[in-house]
């Protein structure tokens, strides 16, 4: 038996290659959209990818199942559980609870494990030449290391009203079945720490049923109502793009030819100026310090780090073209991150801001305010502190009197934010506040300033915070 995990840090996404060396065949579970990594593994191991499996209709990334099918001729094995609203709309082999199939000598048994989504399935795998007992459980977004899949995404991100509590109760029942698996069975989830598909995912890449029964908070409940209450509390804000992923992963869509990663056209300064004048969104992927020192007016800073895909999905619309400011040595990496969430409509990229400024056009800076200056100005009538962290972070402790608007919801709440006073924008450490402050400048909030170091620097300097019990700021 051959086994390999493929882990993509940006979305904390794990996919898997499981092969039978005797038959030289393999299955891929929950593949990412840029599929060259799986093709390379198959070539190196001298195996053919014959099966492509998905645990559910994913919300946080655009599945590469159809790219992999096109490149290899493999069959798609997808869930037909969950009812009419949760069916894939393209040809596939439909799977139901209790179904089994073989990939060479490797046996796959299908478990319907609803809760995170109605159609969710998991795969119990047995290496039949070694034993008649199962060895692995591919749990998708059902059971994570230290956590379980959130059941609120359909309601919060996809607008499926009334599904949240139903999903939580389904998840409780699915977990009762999971507990009866042998303790030695390995658990391989689809996500790790940093994913928005749960609230407390562990950083360890895999686990066992026995260890999760001992340590996973969600497996300690015997009372269903108490479990539902605990599960629905404290879930992070679901990124805006999740609804689009649900749609694109369910319906027919354009497939990348041969799974290739297309590179955008390289723009001149004049070409970028024409696009900027037409209102095209400019996404500057450079470091926040470089961006603050000089950038094209109206551009938004989404740094090329591990959170890039998620924040691109929050900020970049799916129905309009956009351009990038990205160093040429990073453009392929940035493109992969965008393709993984279906942001294909790129009008081009500029490798260097100086190319734009070469004809006398000016770069602008992003104003900054230290935590010490902020502390001196607290209480001034011409200052508003704008906290752009998650609600759970804000509730745990914030600067007294701060206005809270999560960075991902900023564009929906511009009418709540004053334009005639200094806006001291902060997050935890400065990354999200750089996004938020640059976005505010794009909407002509000229008095917005970024607070480097954020609440962490504020606390480290010894300045006070208050908890959520304080009355919210009234602006």
CA–centroid distance for 291 within its chain: 24
Enumerate residues 6+ apart whose C-beta is below 8 A from 233.
Answer: none
Strand partners of residue 101: 108
pLDDT digits (tens, 9 = 90+) for 30-41: 999 999 999 999
Enumerate residues 6+ apart whose C-beta is below 8 A from 434.
Answer: 288, 291, 292, 301, 303, 366, 450
SS3 for 237-255 is CCCCCHHHHHHHHHCCCCC
The label of the residue with tokens 């990348």 reads: 256
> How far apart are alpha carbons 335 and 304 in whole angstroms?
11
Q: How confident is the chain (475 residues) per 10-residue block, as mean pLDDT?
A: 96 96 97 96 97 97 96 98 93 98 98 96 98 98 96 75 88 97 98 87 93 96 96 87 93 87 93 95 97 97 96 95 97 97 96 89 96 95 96 93 96 95 97 98 97 97 82 44
Report the CATH superfamily, name and number, of domain 371-460: Rhodanese-like domain (3.40.250.10)
CATH 3.60.15.10 in the chain: give the residue spans. Answer: 2-250
CATH architecture of 2-250: 4-Layer Sandwich (3.60)
Fold (topology level) of 261-357: Oxidized Rhodanese; domain 1 (3.40.250)
Strand partners of residue 364: 295
DSSP class per residue in 84-140: GGG--SS--EEE-TT-EEEETTEEEEEEE--SSSTT-EEEEEEETTT-SS--EEEEE
> How far apart are alpha carbons 460 and 351 in whole angstroms?
37
CATH 3.40.250.10 in the chain: give the residue spans. Answer: 261-357, 371-460
> How far apart are alpha carbons 220 and 40 in whole angstroms?
41
Enumerate residues 6+ apart whose C-beta is below 8 A from 378.
Answer: 385, 399, 401
pLDDT digits (tens, 9 = 90+) for 127-161: 999 999 999 999 999 999 999 999 988 777 666 77
> How far apart are alpha carbons 465 and 455 in whole angstroms?
9
pLDDT of residue 405: 97
Token pair belonging to 18: 């499981």
């Amino acid at each position: 038996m051959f086994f390999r995990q493929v882990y993509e840090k940006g979305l904390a996404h794990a996919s898997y290659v499981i092969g039978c060396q005797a038959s030289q065949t393999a299955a891929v579970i929950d593949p990412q959209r840029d599929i060259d990594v799986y093709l390379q593994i198959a070539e190196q191991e001298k195996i053919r990818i014959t099966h492509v499996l998905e645990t559910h209709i994913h919300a946080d990334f655009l599945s590469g199942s159809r790219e992999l099918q096109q490149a290899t001729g493999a069959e798609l094995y997808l869930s037909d559980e969950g009812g009419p609203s949760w069916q894939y709309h393209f040809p596939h082999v439909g799977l139901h609870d209790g179904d089994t199939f073989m990939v060479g000598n490797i046996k796959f048994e299908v478990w319907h494990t609803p809760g995170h989504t109605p159609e969710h399935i998991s795969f119990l795998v047995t290496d039949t030449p070694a034993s008649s007992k199962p060895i692995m459980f591919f749990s998708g977004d059902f059971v994570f290391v230290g956590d379980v899949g959130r059941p609120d995404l359909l309601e919060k991100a996809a607008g499926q009203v009334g599904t949240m509590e139903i999903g939580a109760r389904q998840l409780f029942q699915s977990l009762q079945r999971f507990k009866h698996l042998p303790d030695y069975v390995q658990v391989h989830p689809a996500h790790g720490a940093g994913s928005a598909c749960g609230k407390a995912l562990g950083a360890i890449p895999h686990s066992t049923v026995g260890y999760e029964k001992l340590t996973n908070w969600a497996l300690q409940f015997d009372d269903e109502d108490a479990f539902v209450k605990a599960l629905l509390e404290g879930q992070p804000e679901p990124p805006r793009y999740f609804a689009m992923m649900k749609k694109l992963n369910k319906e027919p869509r354009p497939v990348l030819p041969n799974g290739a990663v297309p590179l955008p056209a390289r723009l001149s300064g004049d070409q970028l100026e024409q696009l900027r004048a037409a209102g095209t969104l400019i996404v500057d992927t450079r470091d926040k310090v470089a961006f603050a020192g000089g950038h094209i007016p109206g551009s938004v800073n989404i740094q090329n780090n591990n959170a890039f895909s998620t924040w691109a999905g929050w900020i970049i619309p799916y129905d309009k073209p956009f351009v990038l400011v990205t160093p040429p040595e990073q453009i392929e990496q940035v493109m992969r991150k965008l393709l993984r969430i279906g942001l294909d409509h790129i009008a081009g990229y500029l490798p260097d801001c100086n190319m734009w400024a070469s004809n006398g056009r000016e770069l602008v800076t992003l104003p900054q305010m230290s935590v010490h200056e902020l502390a001196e100005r607290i209480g001034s009538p011409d200052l508003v502190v704008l906290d752009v962290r998650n609600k759970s972070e804000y509730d745990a402790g914030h600067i007294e009197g701060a206005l809270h608007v999560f960075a991902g919801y900023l564009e929906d709440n511009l009418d709540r934010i004053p334009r005639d006073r200094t806006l001291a924008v902060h997050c935890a450490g400065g990354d999200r506040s750089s996004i938020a402050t640059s976005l505010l400048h794009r909407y002509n909030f000229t008095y917005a300033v970024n607070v480097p170091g954020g609440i962490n620097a504020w606390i480290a300097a010894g300045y006070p915070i208050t908890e959520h019990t304080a009355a919210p700021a009234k602006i």
